[in-house]
Amino acid sequence: MNKIGITARDLFHLKSVTDPKLSPDGSMAVYVQTRIDEKTEKYISNLYMYSLITNETKQWTFGDNRDTSPAWSPDGKDIAFISDRSGKKQVHLIGSIGGEARQLTHFINGVTKPIWSPCSSKLLLSTGLKEGETLNTVKENDLSKEVHRYDRIKYKWDGRGYFDQLYQQLVVVDIFQNESVLLTENNIDHHPNAWSPDGQHVAFISGDAEKSDDELFSSDIFTMDLETKSLQKITDSTGFFKDPKWSPNGKYLSFIGHNKEFAGATFSNIWLHSISDQTIQCLTDGWDVEIGDSAIGDFQIGAVDPGILWTNDSQGFYFLISDYGNTGVYYGSIEGAMYPSILDPQHIYGLTIDPESHRAVVAISTPAHPGDLFAYNLTNGDKEQISFVNDEFLRNKHLSIAEPISFPVADGLTIHGWIMRPTEFNENLKYPLILEIHGGPHMMYANTYVHEFQTLANEGYTVLFTNPRGSLGYGQDFANACRGDYGGMDYQDLMAGVDHVLTTYDFINHEDLGVSGGSYGGFMTNWIIGHTNRFKAAVTQRCISNWLSFYGVSDIGYYFTEWEIGGDIINSADKLWQHSPLKYISNVNTPLLLLHGEKDFRCPIEQSEQFFVALKRQNKEAVLVSFPDETHEITRSGSPKMRLRHLEEIKGWFNKYF
């Protein structure tokens, strides 16, 4: 039987596995498996259980809902998880030996992920509350419309919408007494993260309620004494910090973050707060590696970066890093020594460890493999695949392999990327090339599965994707190098990549070039076609075209523009216009498809609308396609129907010209 390539509609046949969690004794792993129901076109997530003793997998929860965020009780008897089966996202409990799940919380605005207390009797979480609301407030159906009044600069969020007056407050739920205690009540968001080993304190992330417009520019680590509710602020509001966790012996509090030395391009570090002498030490100072998973993909639904995972001896911890288009696992000691545990050409998008044996379950994707779980021995590198969720479907599929490339650019930097040949490649034929550009820009393309790329390869396209300056994974200076120079050397990096593959590979038709990208990649697509006519067709996705208007309409516009472009509309409007693709609209001759979600608050649809109208006013070839109710996340977590249509639009546009 001849194998065929990946099609856009295969979204409805592929499954993703995410967020593995090992049981306290290391014998079982619970994880989330997500699929799309082809009839209802809805995401369905259930919990599955794998036994590392019998090697058997069993489905643990059932139903056509979203069950996510599993968490083992420390005694191993229960698993708490989030489910929307009652309409709102609420905590449910299910026994570790199976049985029926029972709903634990009934909060009017739902809850966030649950965190177990050391004694296995309580859960720390957060819930949204308006001023004056309590945990027992009953929501009334109010059909009247009210005006919305805002006095804070942050009044909307992509994915959340306009400010709903809800603030995330900390709650402790006693699972046996069925009682809930509200820990915080002020007008600021609180994000819970950990319990102290003695169960007397909790750690969380928050801002300063008295500096509401400044909270965007810092996030701090706090601890709370649960008996007195007194707070201790660990960090000093100079940067962004997250993931506070106690060492098992209670002597240290680790966390991840940075002091904004390079604004939004700053690499995160690992920090250690000593409880006894109240000192803070940066364990990764001078280590030019980004902490965490910075890979961009469009498939792993609900992937979770676990942050710091302590070992039982309190001498060290495991964590993810992003480096040269891969994500790996490192072990760090409390003395600051960092040792690689897993470094392979792949994307690790999930990690859980047995803190005693140093065994792990790891979620791994590659460009030709959507993702599965593997059991790892982190001390000797032994691994075994333990999930095979897409094997049957992929048995008759042929996926294109991503071949790594690197090439020099004018100022001496070396740029890294990949090229994917058409699925049915014939060395005697010539093929069109599509340049893909990632968003961020401070993220990175990686050795991971991207459904859009496989779909295009199956249509007969060669796909080129690179990590130009600004990308993470290649050092702090490299990540910072595009700030203040959007459309400058980053543009040259991308064009050098095109030149490199045209001179290196003889199967590419030099006249048949396409370009596409999303977010920052959409900005760069617009910029490219305003500065060269090399491309026969272009698709810009959730783009930026005008920094002057972006400054005021994006949910991050004001500070992102100042950080990344180096100007504002008050003092340096000329600089913003200089870097705006709209300024160069008269130069555009490339047929352009503009794709945009109508509820995208990160790069609002007016960015596409301005570019589209200016093109049409000049009788240029352009089509605007808007997606109702879709946010900036349309290609990653948008409604399945719209994700499919989005892919079909890209494919159809390029097929029209090649």
Distant-in-sequence, close-in-space partners of 380: CB < 8 Å, separation ≥ 6:
none
Give the mean pLDDT of 457-480.
Answer: 98
Domain range for 565: 400-657
Cα–Cα distance measured from residue 159 to residue 167, given in angstroms and rounded to the nearest whole number? 16
User: Which has the closest alpha carbon to 450: 516, 361, 527?
Assistant: 516
Whether 588 is in a domain gets the answer: yes
Cα–Cα distance measured from residue 208 to residue 215, given in angstroms and rounded to the nearest whole number? 6
Please check the confidence at residue 138 and state whether its pLDDT lies above 80. no
168 touches 189 (CB < 8 A): yes
pLDDT in tens, 537-565: 999 999 999 999 999 999 999 999 999 99
| 519 assigned to active site | yes
Residue 77's SS3 state is: coil
Helix axis angle, 520-529 to 489-504, nearest 10°:
70
pLDDT of residue 144: 66
Distant-in-sequence, close-in-space partners of 134: CB < 8 Å, separation ≥ 6:
182
pLDDT band at residue 618 under the 50/70/90 scheme = very high
Whether 131 is in a domain gets the answer: no
pLDDT in tens, 140-193: 666 667 888 888 888 999 999 999 889 999 999 999 998 999 999 988 999 999
Please check the confidence at residue 214 and state whether its pLDDT lies above 60. no
Residue 348's SS3 state is: strand
How much helix, strand and coil, in percent to the nearest 5, is found in the chain?
A: 20, 35, 45
Please check the confidence at residue 215 and state whether its pLDDT lies above 60. no
Report percent pLDDT > 90 for the chain: 90
pLDDT in tens, 482-535: 999 999 999 999 999 999 999 999 999 999 999 999 999 999 999 999 999 999
Give the mean pLDDT of 117-131.
Answer: 96
pLDDT of residue 133: 86
How many residues make up the chain in this entry? 658
240 touches 218 (CB < 8 A): yes
User: Which has the closest alpha carbon to 85: 69, 109, 108, 101?
Assistant: 101
Give the mean pLDDT of 608-625.
Answer: 98
> pTM for this one?
0.96
CA 269 from centre of chain: 18
| DSSP 8-class letter at 4 | B
Distant-in-sequence, close-in-space partners of 391: CB < 8 Å, separation ≥ 6:
none
Cα–Cα distance measured from residue 236 to residue 219, given in angstroms and rounded to the nearest whole number? 9
253 touches 275 (CB < 8 A): yes
Cα–Cα distance measured from residue 329 to residue 152, given in angstroms and rounded to the nearest whole number? 40
Residue 499's SS3 state is: helix
| CATH code, 497 | 3.40.50.1820
| Mean pLDDT score across all residues of the chain | 95
Residue 110 Rama label (left phi>0; alpha psi -120 to 50; beta)? left
pLDDT in tens, 433-444: 999 999 999 999
517 touches 441 (CB < 8 A): no
pLDDT of residue 301: 86
HSE of 363 in the Cβ direction (CA atoms, 13 Å)?
29
Whether 207 is in a domain gets the answer: no
Count other Cβ atoms within 10 Å, centred on residue 307. 21
Whether 449 is in a domain gets the answer: yes
pLDDT of residue 230: 95
Instruction: Indicate the helix (H) or strand (E) that contains 391.
Output: helix 391-394
pLDDT in tens, 236-269: 999 999 999 999 999 999 999 999 999 999 999 9
How many domains does one find in the chain?
1
Cα–Cα distance measured from residue 566 to residue 645, given in angstroms and rounded to the nearest whole number? 36
Cα–Cα distance measured from residue 60 to residue 47, given in angstroms and rounded to the nearest whole number? 5
Amino acid symbol at 30: V
The residue from 438, 500, 632, 646 that is catalytic is 632
pLDDT of residue 181: 95
Whether 344 is in a domain gets the answer: no
317 touches 309 (CB < 8 A): yes
Whether 496 is in a domain gets the answer: yes
Whether 618 is in a domain gets the answer: yes
| 190 assigned to active site | no
The residue from 23, 519, 545, 608 that is catalytic is 519
| Four-point Cα dihedral 624, 625, 627, 628, nearest 10 | 70
pLDDT of residue 217: 79
Whether 267 is in a domain gets the answer: no
pLDDT in tens, 69-112: 999 999 999 999 999 999 999 999 999 998 899 999 999 999 99
